[in-house]
Structure 1
Amino acid sequence: MSAEVASNEKIPFLQKIIYGLGALINNLLSAAIGGMVIVLNLGLGMNPALVGLVSALPRLTDAITDPLMGYISDHTKSKWGRRRPYIFCGAIAAGIIFALLWQLPEGKSEEYYFWFFLVGSFIFYLAYTMFATPWVALGYELTPDYHERTRLMATQNFMGQIAYLIAPWFLWFMQNDLLFEDMMAGAAWLAVIIGAFTICVGVLPAIFLKEPIKHVQAGPIPGEQFITPGVKGFLKGFATTVKFRPFLFLCAATFLVFNGFMMVASFQSYVIIYYIFDGDTSMGAEYAGWSGTLAAISTFCVIFIVTKFSTHFDKRKGFFFAIGISVVGYVLKWFCYTPDYPLLMLLPVPFIAFGLGGLFTLMGSMIADVCDMDELNTYERREGMFGSIYWWVVKLGMAAALAAGGFLLNATGFDVALGGAQSAETIYLMRIFDAFIPALCSAIAILMVYWYPITEQKAGEVRDALDARRLPVTTDSK
């Protein structure tokens, strides 16, 4: 049962909303870059395997850039704070570069488009990292309260789901003949709209949120510097983070749930178009849009349900509850995706929504608890490093999913030139992959969190130990 939150640890609702605007931008960019790449195949005829590679390769560099940005943010000292300058500049840079990325010249070769998009994506993800990594770290340190952290993450996840309410209609928008002469022209205009929105909204957390003032900590040797600056400090901090077992369990669970979902997020469109609607892209895009809209609406409800459940029964049990329901939803796809009753495809959607809805409501709160336990062991506050490595795992999951999705599509024997005349074996394999790969991944993720050791009682003990160890902040009364 949740306890009352101390007034000095409660985050005002408006500040939760403003922090949540960062999630809206984070998710919008992620959904856009993942959902719009289908244009490279359907609009330019690029091989699906190449589309998967051009989507996946830039994310692999995040293994270096994300932790580096986290380390830089943790060690920044400025009058604007450790996080806010990067959030502000990163939002502007990401918006501009994303808009430019989709201004693809006409009449070029497949190889040209591959390299153009690959190089542009590398640059875009650098700017994206500059924004996202400090924004994530800021959320971990806004409150020390066990349940208020969950409520903050629930609010930001709720705000972030607005992006997924919009994103399913991107394909419909880009291929709309009444608006654009071709799909690539639609993608170019959509990118400009998303880029401008990113700039205008992404800077708001940097402007209106205040970074908390940390207490000075008493180490085992008074006056010793525990956070080593420079390359040595970065490598030491990175190694300490990736060896911390509670954190690894959360990363593994996230990779499995998110990777399973994203693998079929791109794959699912092909199942809907070529199985349910026999190759009718227009009808498939419309129904995919309605499915995505229902998923987003369902996730809003899921966030509320999972937050209430976890604040009464603990975060781990909340995870088991949410992910278990999503497994049921994935399995239902096998029975509900049928050309005889197209509307039946909407039935699994609310069940599946418990997956990512529960995952990103709980994981941010749980990682904040991990940061406390790490501080107890290391005498360091490294929200930036933990957040960067965690979200790199999310991006790695997306990269692996996008790459695997392209190769799996080829493995089914899919040929875009055949339209609705795909072979029975191709359709069967597409359906198998779509329903059962994410179900299996989510089931394994439940086992990972079963081994995660930080319960509400344990988190309380860690916080009591930290409070006893921290030196009070002294102020000049004059």
Structure 2
Amino acid sequence: MSVTSGIRVGYALGSLATGAFATVPGLLLLPFLTDRLAVPAAVAGVLVLLPKAWDVAFNPIAGRISDRATHRLGPRRPFLLRGGLALAALFAVMFLPPVFGTPLGDGAWVAVSFVACATAFAFFQVPYVAMAAELTDDYHDRTRLISWRVAALAVAILLCGAGAPLLRDSAGGYRLMGLAVAALIALGALGVYIGTAQAPVARVTPSGARFPELLAAVRSSRPFRTLLLAFVIQAIGIGTLLAGVDYLARVVLHDPGAQTPLFAAFVAPALLVMPLWQRVGRRWGKRRGYQAATVLFALSIAAVAFVPPMWVLVLLVALTGVAYAGLQVFPMSMLPDIITAEEKRSGAVRAGLFSGVWTAGETLGLALGPGLYGVLLAVGGYVSGGVVDQPEGARVAIVVGFSLVPAVLVGVVLPLLSFVEGEGERG
């Protein structure tokens, strides 16, 4: 079963919402707390981390709910519309402070809003990821489907990574930025809802299936657990890198404007190298492609630790961006293969639950990155409140958190990838 180009494009539009929500909090929420609201760096790191921990418990629940939902439009699409629009509204609310005028009060506002955003995002992202296993059962067609999705994801990251800081620095500040990103999230939600109207309607989990039994099935799938562990560890590294872009530009390079070319260099290659990664996957398999992307990412971002001249720095970040595209395409196209294998083995629909566990891990990983970066800033003696002249320890922490920590976290999973296989990967 293959999908049409129209459905492929419609499905990809959902990544405008997922990319926006995954990028902006990781990029600007920590600076918003430390420099705009004067929240101490260590506390800010905790505030960024704790709301995402809610997803660990809630995302699998959201997946089970979407698995068991019955609707004439299918179990997934209604969640995409409702969850996406709710996320857009709550995202704008998150960047309204200062409201109370105190670091404690405004920090609490952000934390509570972040929890609400994470809840709405779960009801959007989990059904969205689950659809990939249900739109097509063709091994290589899934790679094409995910490649379109990652290309749209790159567009969202590029728009948010380059545009959000510019809006933040305009007269409208963080509030204008929050409204603009909320509009992009709403556009993505409406786009995927309308664009997948002709997509196949997913099956529904039998009513007798119980949540503990489904969790036991997840634990019994070694390929899923291995792939999830690798993806989460790498997400922490990517989240740490994204959190460091703003600090590297302002404090180390003394050029806030450098944030835009650095972010563009990281994301833009994904729009160009998708055909390359597709050919790699078709010729050598998804697993080997994933391994190659992992090595390239670790080596290129580690070299940034030497803080080379700007043109070399941009080149290294661009190579990292090429690898980042592979780190997205291959694991996310291997996931539906593993889900299909598990569903064939068990005879039950588990796309929602598996996707819920997956997105919980991804969300937690991307949240742990900024949280870890906040800890590194605190250890380095970073002074909150928008102070320009930072101690040397803070500068070292900024560079290490942007380069060496992501390199280690991405590269350390390489041995795990030898144990990952799914439909089409065996033999």
Task: State if a TM-score over 0.5 links the two structures.
Answer: yes
Q: Which amino acid aligns with 1:194?
A: V
Kindly provide the CA deviation profile for residues 195-219 of structure 1, in whole angstroms up to 9, marking residues without a partner as x. Answer: 2332233123223313425689xxx
Decide which of 370, 379, 393 is 1:411's aligned counterpart. Answer: 379
Decide which of 320, 338, 352 is 1:352's aligned counterpart. Answer: 320
Hey, what does 2:261 align to over in structure 1?
290
Kindly provide the CA deviation profile for residues 372-404 of structure 1, in whole angstroms up to 9, marking residues without a partner as x. Answer: 221232111211111111111111111211211
Does structure 2 conserve the Cα–Cα contact (< 8 Å) formed by 1:330 and 1:439?
yes
Hey, what does 1:373 align to over in structure 2?
341
Does structure 1 conserve the Cα–Cα contact (< 8 Å) formed by 2:241 and 2:406?
yes
Decide which of 239, 254, 259 is 2:231's aligned counterpart. Answer: 254
Q: Which amino acid aligns with 1:363?
A: P
Kindly provide the CA deviation profile for residues 124-180 of structure 1, in whole angstroms up to 9, marking residues without a partner as x. Answer: 21111111111111122100000000010000000111111112232232123xxx1
The whole-number CA distance in structure 1 between the counterparts of 2:202 and 2:81 is: 22
CA-CA distance at 1:303 after TM superposition: 2.4
SS at match of 2:135: coil
Change (3 A) 1:196 1:430: closer
Decide which of 172, 175, 194 is 2:181's aligned counterpart. Answer: 194
Q: Which amino acid aligns with 1:200?
A: L
Q: Which has the larger radius of gyration?
A: 1
Hey, what does 1:318 align to over in structure 2?
289
Decide which of 39, 42, 46 is 1:46's aligned counterpart. Answer: 39
Does structure 1 conserve the Cα–Cα contact (< 8 Å) formed by 2:41 and 2:375?
yes
Show the 5 A alignment for 1:401-440.
Answer: 401-416=369-384, 419-440=387-408
Decide which of 447, 450, 457 is 2:415's aligned counterpart. Answer: 447
Change (3 A) 1:85 1:455: closer
Kindly provide the CA deviation profile for residues 417-469 of structure 1, in whole angstroms up to 9, marking residues without a partner as x. Answer: 6945433343334323332111112222221111113373528xxxxxxxxxx
Does structure 2 conserve the Cα–Cα contact (< 8 Å) formed by 1:87 and 1:202?
yes
Does structure 2 conserve the Cα–Cα contact (< 8 Å) formed by 1:227 and 1:380?
no
Change (3 A) 1:424 1:189: closer
Does structure 1 conserve the Cα–Cα contact (< 8 Å) formed by 2:238 and 2:366?
no
Q: Which amino acid aligns with 1:13?
A: S
Change (3 A) 1:206 1:433: closer
> Given the alignment of the two structures, is residue 32 of structure 1 paired with residue 24 of structure 2, yes or no?
yes
Q: Which amino acid aligns with 1:206?
A: Y
For structure 2, the residue ranges without an aligned partner over 5 or more in a row are: none
Q: Which amino acid aligns with 2:181?
A: I
Hey, what does 1:172 align to over in structure 2?
166
> Given the alignment of the two structures, is residue 15 of structure 1 paired with residue 2 of structure 2, yes or no?
no
Change (3 A) 1:426 1:191: closer
Hey, what does 1:145 align to over in structure 2?
138
Show the 5 A alignment for 1:58-73.
Answer: 58-73=51-66
Q: Which amino acid aligns with 2:28?
A: M
Hey, what does 1:383 align to over in structure 2?
351
Change (3 A) 1:28 1:214: closer
CA-CA distance at 1:227 after TM superposition: 5.8
Change (3 A) 1:72 1:112: same
Decide which of 50, 62, 68 is 1:57's aligned counterpart. Answer: 50
> Percent same amino acid at aligned positions?
20
CA-CA distance at 1:64 after TM superposition: 1.9
Q: Give the CA RMSD over aligned residues.
A: 2.1
> Given the alignment of the two structures, is residue 75 of structure 1 paired with residue 63 of structure 2, yes or no?
no
Does structure 2 conserve the Cα–Cα contact (< 8 Å) formed by 1:257 and 1:356?
no
Kindly provide the CA deviation profile for residues 353-383 of structure 1, in whole angstroms up to 9, marking residues without a partner as x. Answer: 1343112211221111111221232111211
Hey, what does 1:228 align to over in structure 2?
208
Does structure 1 conserve the Cα–Cα contact (< 8 Å) formed by 2:214 and 2:353?
yes
Does structure 1 conserve the Cα–Cα contact (< 8 Å) formed by 2:59 and 2:122?
yes
Calculate the TM-score normalised by the size of structure 2. 0.93
Hey, what does 1:212 align to over in structure 2?
200
Does structure 2 conserve the Cα–Cα contact (< 8 Å) formed by 1:140 and 1:364?
no
The whole-number CA distance in structure 1 between the counterparts of 2:351 and 2:279 is: 26
The whole-number CA distance in structure 1 between the counterparts of 2:45 and 2:225 is: 27
The whole-number CA distance in structure 2 between the counterparts of 1:146 and 1:359 is: 18
The whole-number CA distance in structure 1 between the counterparts of 2:154 and 2:284 is: 24
**Higher RCO structure (Cα 8 Å, ≥6 apart):** 2
Calculate the TM-score normalised by the size of structure 1. 0.84
Q: Which amino acid aligns with 2:340?
A: D
How many pairs were matched up? 424
Name whichever of 88-97 and 341-350 sits farther off: 341-350
Does structure 1 conserve the Cα–Cα contact (< 8 Å) formed by 2:75 and 2:202?
no
SS at match of 1:348: helix
CA-CA distance at 1:87 after TM superposition: 0.8
The whole-number CA distance in structure 2 between the counterparts of 1:420 and 1:76 is: 52
The whole-number CA distance in structure 2 between the counterparts of 1:194 and 1:421 is: 31
The whole-number CA distance in structure 2 between the counterparts of 1:381 and 1:140 is: 10
> Given the alignment of the two structures, is residue 90 of structure 1 paired with residue 70 of structure 2, yes or no?
no
Hey, what does 2:117 align to over in structure 1?
124
Hey, what does 2:97 align to over in structure 1?
104
Change (3 A) 1:417 1:94: closer
Hey, what does 1:309 align to over in structure 2?
280
Does structure 1 conserve the Cα–Cα contact (< 8 Å) formed by 2:73 and 2:201?
no
Change (3 A) 1:190 1:213: closer
